[in-house]
Amino acid sequence: MLKLKLCEILGIKFPIIQGGMAWIADSSLASAVSNAGGLGLIAGANADAEWVRQEIRKAKEMTDKPFGVNIMLLSSNAEEIARIVCEEGVKVVTTGAGNPGKYMDMWKKHGIKVIPVVASVALAIRMERAGADAVVVEGCEAGGHIGELTTMTLVPQVVDAVNIPVIAAGGIGDGRGIAAAVMLGAEGVQVGTRFLVAKECNIHQNYKDRVIKAKDIDTVVTGRVTGHPVRVIKNKLSRQFQLLEKEGASLESYNELGRGALPKAVKDGDIEFGSVMAGQIAGLIKKEQSCFEIISEMFDEADTVIKTLIPRIE
Ligand code: TUI
């Protein structure tokens, strides 16, 4: 069994963190991932702060294992959620879409393990200096809000630049992806897209079916001109975004088109006019499974591919 530094840091069985997917990652998904031996996360992104507090309390009822909260720093209420995790005794915080530097001291004082998601070497170095316990290094294969570099290029560069453990994210959906991440120097992985189709993931069935049906080339990045590029599954909405881009439309018209688009897909199941965020690995995902099945299968496969390789070294 693959034991990496992430297991020690967080006190978990398998070195895997579930992505803190906005509007998607609730107490049901987070507790199922944690009960299966990974680290589940509740998404604080664009959520009502009181909802986050209640989900933290529910997760505590559903698991005695560690779980965390993801704080999306572009959210208008990020500061409020940053305080709630302290009040509620959350053990782990991950952050996305920005620099969480101003909250680091407060979280460290509360004994919280802090794992910022970064998309560059520079931010990884700053986070290490600020006291981060590890960093999630996310390549642009990932779904949702992304940076510029791929997982393959970014992970080894961050591994060389910092002394804290690096957790690879973006494009990892099976045991081969885990093995590859380990070869790049990662001490754990973060997986989002594969958990979209988890039985315990409470998104609309249309969203799950769309991920299962996705081919390799079905995702696209929209919104580059806004400074917040987002990877989604191609649909009528993504084509409208591309049209705006071609026309050189105003930021306001982007924001107007994007408003409410993620819950439209997640809650209403509108996969044509909603934002169906998913990573490039969606093409590999074939069926709905429990979190336990997903995690066990991924790590069994990682063990197998790594063991198969060793006798081939002369
Ligand atoms: O945060 C994510 N993925 C997300 S957040 C999200 S919700 C959303 N809704 C509307 C618009 C945009 C997002 C959906 N998916 N992943 C973590 C991540 N963080 N990826 C990239 C980054 C990142 C990018 C730039 C982190 C820091 C950064 O620069 C900060 C700086 O100051 O250098």
Report the separation in Å between the CA atom of 242 and the middle of ligand 1, taken as the mean of its atom positions. 20
State residue 313's pLDDT score.
Answer: 92
Residue from 18, 21, 125, 145 whose mutation best tests the ligand 1 pocket (most atoms within 8 A of CB): 145
| DSSP summary character for residue 182 | H
User: What's the full length of the chain, in residues?
Assistant: 314
237 Cα: distance to centroid of ligand 1 (angstroms): 20
Quote the pLDDT of residue 47: 82
Q: Calculate the alpha carbon distances from 186 to 64, 81, 136, 160, 232 in Å.
A: 27, 29, 9, 11, 26
208 CB within 6 A, ligand 1: no
The per-residue pLDDT for 225 is 87
Residue 117 CB–ligand 1 contact under 6 Å: yes
Nearest CA to ligand 1 atom 14: 144
Q: State whether the beta carbon of 45 lies less than 6 angstroms from ligand 1.
A: yes
Q: Which residues contact 313 (CB under 8 A, 6 or more apart)?
A: none
Nearest C-alpha to atom 13 of ligand 1 is from which residue? 145
Tokens of 173: 């959906």
Q: Name the residue with tokens 């105003």.
A: 250
Q: What stretches of the chain adopt beta strand conformation (E)?
A: 16-18, 40-43, 67-72, 92-96, 113-118, 135-138, 144-145, 166-169, 188-191, 219-222, 230-233
User: Which tokens belong to 236?
Assistant: 């009528």
Assign residue 97 a region (left: φ > 0; alpha: ψ between -120 and 50; beta: otherwise).
Answer: left
- For 97, the 3-state DSSP assignment is coil
Q: What is the pLDDT of residue 257?
A: 93
pTM of the predicted structure, to 2 decimals: 0.97
147 CB within 6 A, ligand 1: yes
β partners of residue 220: 232
Domain boundary assignment for the chain = 5-202+287-313, 215-277
Contact 5, 16 (CB under 8 A): no
* Ligand 1 centroid to residue 204 C-alpha, Å: 23
Residues in the chain, pLDDT under 50: none
Residue 309: its pLDDT value, please? 94
Q: 167 in helix, strand or coil?
A: strand
* Res 265: pLDDT: 98
The per-residue DSSP string of 213-278 comes to H--TT-EEEE-GGGT--EEEE-SHHHHHHHHHHHHT--HHHHHHHHTTHHHHHHTT--TTTS--B-
Q: Find, among 153, 160, 122, the residue nearest to 138 by Cα.
A: 153
Rounded CA separation 295/200 (Å): 13
At 23, list the tokens.
């509007």
| CATH match for 5-202+287-313 among 3.20.20.70, 1.10.357.10, 3.40.50.10140, 3.40.50.720 | 3.20.20.70
Q: Please give the pLDDT value at position 45.
A: 85
154 Cβ closer than 6 Å to some ligand 1 atom: no
Q: Are 258 and 232 in contact (CB under 8 A)?
A: no
Q: Considering only CA atoms, which of 306, 295, 307 is closest in space to residue 14? A: 295
The amino acid present at 46, given as its one-letter code, is N
Ligand 1 neighbourhood includes 96 CB (under 6 angstroms): yes
Which protein residue has the closest C-alpha to ligand 1 atom 4?
Answer: 145
The answer, yes or no, to whether any atom of ligand 1 lies below 6 A from the CB of 144, is: yes
